[in-house]
Amino acid sequence: MISPYHLNSAADMFFIYNLLLLLLYPLLFLATLFSDKLRRNWQIRKIPFKVEAHGRPVIWFHAASVGEFEQARVVAQFLKEKYPNVFLFFTVYSYSAYSQRQNDPLPDLLVALPFDFPWRMKKLLQQVQPRTIVYAKYDVWPNLARLAAKANIPQYLISATLPATSQRRGILGRKFFSKIYSYLTGIYSIHPEHTARFAEYGLNAITSGDTRFEAARDRITRCPAALKRQIAQLKKSIPSHMLVMTAGSTYETSERLLVDVLSRYNSLFVIMAPHHVNREHISKIEDLLQDKNISFAKYSQIVTENLHTIKKIRLLLIDTTGVLPYLYGLADIAYVGGGFEGSLHSILEPALFSLPIITGPAIANSQEALDLRQIELLYVMPKPEPDHIISFCQHYSSAKARKKTNAAIARYYSSRLGATKTILPVLEQAAQLIPSDRKSPQKKTPPPSK
C-alpha cells in the first residue's frame, strides 16, 4: 500500500484519492439513513438533468455554497449582459446553495455537482461540452480538473483564497493541491498574501481582487421590490433618536451579550438576525429577552401585522432568511457574528453600507476584516463583554464620529472593486467569445503578482 506521505506522482495521488472515494461512498449512503442533512445532499445529486445548449457557447461555473455562488454569479452576469447567447451552466456542492439558488433566473441550468468519480466526471464533461470552467474561491474537484485539462478545456479559479491556516498548506494538502491546481489555466487571487502562498506551490497567480465586493453591491441593487418597500417602511418606523445596530449572523454567545447591552444601554435599538432561524433557536432568544424584560417583536409578525409596534420595542428579531444584507441599510452600526465561534461571517454587506463594525477575535478567515482592522476601521473585542459594545455605541452615538468612519470605509470598499473587470477579458478569450484579432497575448497563466 502506498503511504500518503510518499506520494511522488499524480498516479499515486489519484489512486489513493479514488480508492478513498470508493470506500467512502457506501459509508456515506449508510449515513444518509440517519442524517437529514446528508440525505438532502445525496438526493440532489440524483436529480436527472439534460444540457440543452443547442450549439450556444457553454460556460461552466462551479461554487461550493451560497457565498461562492454569488462570487461566480456576478461574473456570469457581466458575461450574459455582453453575450446574451452564452449558455450559463452552474453546479453547486451544498444543499443550501442548491435550494436557495435553484430558481435564480441567471443560470440556464443549475444542478448539484455529481460525486467526483472519474467516470462520472468524464460523462459530465461530454454532456456539457464547456468552452471553459470557472471555479469560485477554492472548490476545485480533482477528477473534474484532471479530465478537463486532459480535454484541453481552460479552467480558472477566481476570487481564489489560500489562508495561512488552511489545511491545504499542510504536508499532505500541499502535495495534493499543488498538483490539482497545476491543472488550472489561471488563478486569480483575492489578495497579494494569498497570491504569495500559491507561489509557494510553484503556481503562477495574479492578484485580481475579490468579486464578492461587486457581488454584494449587485445583490443590494437587485433587492426585490416588495422587500425594498418593507425595508423603507421599517426605516420610517424605527425611532429616530435611537442608535440602530444590525447584528447579523449571531450565535448564542453574542445573543446573550447583546441582550445584556440592551439592559444597560437605553439608547440602542437592535435588529438581530440569528445565524440559525429554526423555531427552537428563535424560542430560546425569546425566552432570553423575556427574562431580561427587553421588549421585542419578530420580523414575520411586524411585516404582516403592524409596523407601528416597532416604536414600542428595543429589539427586532429576524426569524426568516434572505433579508439580512438589506437590513444593514437600516443601521448606524453593525455587529457581525462568528468572531467568538471561530470563523467570522461576511462583513461585506455592512461595509457596503459604510457602517462601523464590531465583532469577536476570530477574523483570520476574512481578508477584508484583516484589512479593516489593520487600518483601524474594525473594532475587535477580545472577549464577549458588554462594556466593549457599550463603549463602541457611546463613541458612535456621535454623528460626527460615524461620518468620519463612514467615509473611510466607503473609500476602502471602492478601492476593492474591479475584480470582475480583470477576469472578464480572460474568460472571453478562453471561451472564444471575442474575435481572434482582439485577443490579448496572454499565456497559460498570468505572471505572479509582485
Specify the CATH number for the domain of residue 170: 3.40.50.11720
Inform me whether the pLDDT recorded for 424 exceeds 70: yes
Which CATH number goes with the domain that contains 245?
3.40.50.2000
Mean pLDDT, range 175-184, rounded to an integer? 90
pLDDT at 162 over 80: yes
161, part of any domain? yes
9 and 23, same domain (yes or no): yes
Task: Say yes or no: 276 and 152 in one domain.
Answer: no
Question: Other CB atoms closer than 10 Å to residue 295's CB: what's the count?
Answer: 12
Q: Looking at the structure, tell me whether residues 396 and 352 fall in a common domain.
A: yes
User: Per-residue pLDDT tens for 352-395?
Assistant: 999 999 999 999 989 999 999 999 999 999 999 999 999 999 99
45 and 184 inside one domain: yes
Flag whether 449 is in a domain. Answer: no
Q: Which burial class, exposed, middle or buried, applies to 436 when counting CB atoms under 10 A from its CB (0-12, 13-18, 19+)?
A: exposed
Phi, psi at 112, each rounded to 5°: -80, 135
Asked if 388 and 294 sit in the same domain, the reply is: yes
Residue 191, Cα to own-chain centre: how many angstroms? 16
**Total structural domains in the chain?**
2
Q: Is 446 part of a structural domain of the chain? A: no
pLDDT at 240: 87
Q: Are residues 346 and 428 in the same domain?
A: no
Residues 189 and 274 occupy one common structural domain? no
Q: Give yes or no for a contact between 318 and 271, defined as CB atoms under 8 angstroms apart.
A: yes
The pLDDT > 70 percentage for the chain reads 93
pLDDT attached to residue 175 = 82
Q: Give residue 190's pLDDT band: very low, low, confident or very high (50, 70, 90).
A: very high
From the list 120, 93, 78, 390, the residue with the least C-alpha distance to 218 is 78
Give CA–CA dist 97/91, Å, rounded. 10
Q: What is the pLDDT of residue 9?
A: 67
User: Does residue 195 lie within any of the structural domains?
Assistant: yes
Look at residue 60 in the predicted model and tell me its pLDDT: 98
pLDDT digits (tens, 9 = 90+) for 69-83: 999 999 999 999 999
Radius of gyration of the chain (CA): 24
Q: What is the extent of the structural domain holding 41?
A: 4-209+420-438
Domain identity same for 308 and 403: yes
Kindly report, residue by residue over 232-288, the tens digit of the pLDDT: 888 888 988 999 999 999 999 999 999 999 999 999 999 999 999 999 999 999 999
Q: Return the closest-CA partner of residue 350 out of 406, 312, 401.
A: 406
Residue 147, domain member (yes or no):
yes
Query: What pLDDT, in 10s, does the model give residues 52-63?
Result: 999 999 999 999
Q: What is the pTM of this model?
A: 0.84
The predicted pLDDT at position 233 comes to 87
| 3-state secondary structure string across the chain | CCCHHHCCCHHHHHHHHHHHHHHHHHHHHHHHCCCHHHHHHHHHHHCCCCCCCCCCCEEEEEECCHHHHHHHHHHHHHHHHHCCCCEEEEEECCHHHHHHHCCCCCCCEEEECCCCCHHHHHHHHHHHCCCEEEEECCCCCHHHHHHHHHCCCCEEEEEECCCCCCHHHCHHHHHHHHHHHHCCCEEEECCHHHHHHHHHCCCCCEECCCCHHHHHHHHHHCCCHHHHHHHHHHHHHCCCCCEEEEEEEECHHHHHHHHHHHHHCCCEEEEEEECCCCHHHHHHHHHHHHHCCCCEEEHHHHCCCCHHHHHHCCEEECCCCCCHHHHHHHCCEEEECCCCCCCCCCCHHHHHCCCCEEECCCCCCCHHHHHHHHCCCEEECCCCCHHHHHHHHHHHCCHHHHHHHHHHHHHHHHHCCCHHHHHHHHHHHHCCCCCHHHCCCCCCCCCCCC
The predicted pLDDT at position 312 comes to: 85
What tens digit of pLDDT does each residue of 29-53 get?
Answer: 999 999 998 999 999 999 999 999 9
- Does a structural domain hold residue 309? yes
Q: Is 80 exceeded by the pLDDT of residue 1? A: no
Asked whether residue 65 carries a pLDDT value surpassing 80, the answer given is: yes
pLDDT exceeds cutoff 50 at 445: no
Cell numbers describing residue 363: 477574523
218 domain residue, yes or no:
no
pLDDT for 437: 45
Asked whether residue 315 falls in the same domain as residue 394, the answer is: yes
Which of 106, 153, 102, 108 has the alpha carbon at shortest distance from 126? 153
Instruction: Compute the distance between CA of residue 24 and CA of residue 397 in angstroms, rounded to an integer.
Output: 55
Are both 108 and 154 inside the same structural domain? yes
Q: Note the pLDDT tens digit of each residue in 110-137.
A: 999 999 999 999 999 999 999 999 999 9
Assigned domain for 334 exists = yes
pLDDT at 434 (0 to 100): 67
Same domain, yes or no, for 320 and 427? Answer: no
Averaged pLDDT score across all residues of the chain: 90
Residue 189 has pLDDT above 80, yes or no: yes
Whether 429 and 401 map to the same domain: the answer is no
